[in-house]
Structure formats: C-alpha cells, structure tokens
Amino acid sequence: MRLFAAVLPPPDVTAELGSAVGELRKLPGSGSGSGTGTGVGAGTGGGQGLRWTAPAGWHFTLAFYGEVDDELVPDLSARLERSARRTAPFALSLRGGGRFGGRALWVGATGDVRTLRLLAERAEAAGRKAGVTREEHHGYRPHLTLARSREPADFTPYVSALDGFEGRAWTVGELCLMRSRLPVSGVPGEQPRYEVLARWALGGSPSRGAAARV
C-alpha cells in the first residue's frame, strides 16, 4: 500500500479555499477548461496545462512512506497513535501561497505551525522506527498542493493572487494515516484517490478513542 501521514482541513475550510481557487482559475493560462476531476479546483485544460487538485484530496502531508508491506502497517499505526497522543490539538489556518519551481503551486499555513512541524517530525520518526520511511528527512515546509504542471509553468500570478489570502482558523484534532491510489486509467486529468485508513485524536482524547478506522 502507498501510505502517508496527513492533517486534513475540515469541510468549511476546504469550501473557503475552493472559492479562492475558483478565482485563481479565472487567471489567463490557468488551464481552467473542463477536466475529469471532481468539484471546484479539479481538472485540467489548455493554457499552461495546469492540473488542479480536487478538494476531496486536499491535505497537509506530514510524512510520506511510499509502498508499505501489509505486515508493517500495525507497527506503523501503533507508533503514529503514540505520536498523536503526545501532541496537543493546535490552531491552524491557510494563508498565502508559494511554488516548487515551475511544477507545483501550493497554499501555505499560519497559526501554530511549530506544533504542525513537531507532528510532522513525529510522523516521520514513526515511519523510520517502523522501517518504512524511504527518504531522509530534510525539514518540513507546510503546504497544501493546489496545482501541478508537467512542463515548467509561470506560477507568479497565482502566488501573487494568494498573497492576500487567509482562511478561517480551525483546531487540528486528528492525525490521519492515508492510502494513495494512483490513476490507472490513463485518462488525462484523472486524480489520485485518497482513503483514510486510520485516524487518531491528538492529545489522546478519550471521547474520540485511540484510533478510529474507516
């Protein structure tokens, strides 16, 4: 299974971001034609050929584990549960934007980013100790990917448009173990599908339980 640990923004936050992305897609060269994605922000089109991610897949990746053997998942899950229990809930909101070269556009975060980074470090350590993390940890930059491009793209107008964006705050209360299913149909614009395998309440809240499998 292709797995990663993540924080998921709540529906009202993704709805607000969806409205902002709708404005971004009106910019020249956004590739805002109809695509095969679902919902606001999904799909591909002309212009620079940007591939906009779907709201259903919006998340903050904390640690990427890659392909994980089934027999390693229980140990990984137990370690992630401990990571969640050791981390108190914290406030976060979406703000601003950035890019990774000419390949990806993202929205950033503000609020208790220090605790978000701490949770990412603990999720990365959980994978390493469970024997599943494949790459060395090089520091964590909080970001939620909005669009990608196969060819180098000029994201400057989009980053500038996101400079004034700040979403509503929410309390991060869960750590999630996610499964990623890559597109297999070959249809242009098809989105990866994400599935929550398990979620744990931060701070070990007894009302939520140590783990809730979905």
Active-site residue 137, yes or no?
no
Active-site residue 143, yes or no?
yes
- The amino acid present at 196, given as its one-letter code, is V
| 5 Rama sector, left if φ>0, alpha if ψ -120 to 50, beta otherwise | beta
The residue from 106, 143, 147, 199 that is catalytic is: 143
Tell me the HSE value of 43 on the side-chain side, using a 13 A CA sphere: 17
Tell me the HSE value of 156 on the side-chain side, using a 13 A CA sphere: 1
Please provide the DSSP assignment of 42-69 as one string.
-EE-STT--EEPPGGG--EEEEEEEE--
Q: How far is CA 98 from the centre of its chain?
A: 14
State the Cα–Cα distance between residues 48 and 42, nearest whole angstrom: 15
Q: CA torsion 24→100→194→87, rounded to 10°?
A: -110
**Reduced to 3 states, what is the DSSP secondary structure of residue 17?**
helix
**Reduced to 3 states, what is the DSSP secondary structure of residue 14?**
helix
The residue from 20, 30, 52, 59 that is catalytic is: 59
> Which residues are marked as active site?
59, 143
